[in-house]
Amino acid sequence: MSARTKARKRAIDILYAADVRQISIPESLATEAQRAASEPARVASWLYARELVDGVVDHREEIDELIETYSQGWSLARMPNIDRAILRIGIWEILYNDAVPHAVAIDEAVEAAKILSTDDSAGFVNGLLGKIAQTAPSA
């Protein structure tokens, strides 16, 4: 597993934990930062995980608005917590990280959904991120 894939998983964990524990994302990030400091072998994935989470925090309103707009019939509150986290990271990578091609961001999100979420989540994530990528500037 690549360092970026591990970082995405860590970022998903941080966003998911904030949702489930009903705490702020910065609070969840701080908890993970303490853990990361005690595990030097995970430094490579930690830096990108932090960039992902910070990016989601900085652009959360726009990201959540896009999820609501493109998730026909599904409100944010109705989605599984893990799907929200995966989508937020995927959208941030598509819109704000020119170093990651759209197809890679979508593939990584779909793989995460296959592993971490429901049977229907991978298709839902793929469709929603695909629609957003069509409207985004090319990476």
- 16-33 pLDDT, tens digit per residue, is 999 999 999 999 988 888
Q: What average pLDDT score do residues 100-107 get?
A: 96
Closest Cα partner for 96 from 57, 43, 44, 47? 57
Helix (H, G, I), strand (E, B) or coil at 74: coil
Span 90-112, mean pLDDT?
96
- Phi first, then psi: give them for residue 38, nearest 5 degrees: -90, 0
- Prediction pTM value: 0.92
How many angstroms separate the CA atoms of 42 and 29, rounded?
Answer: 15
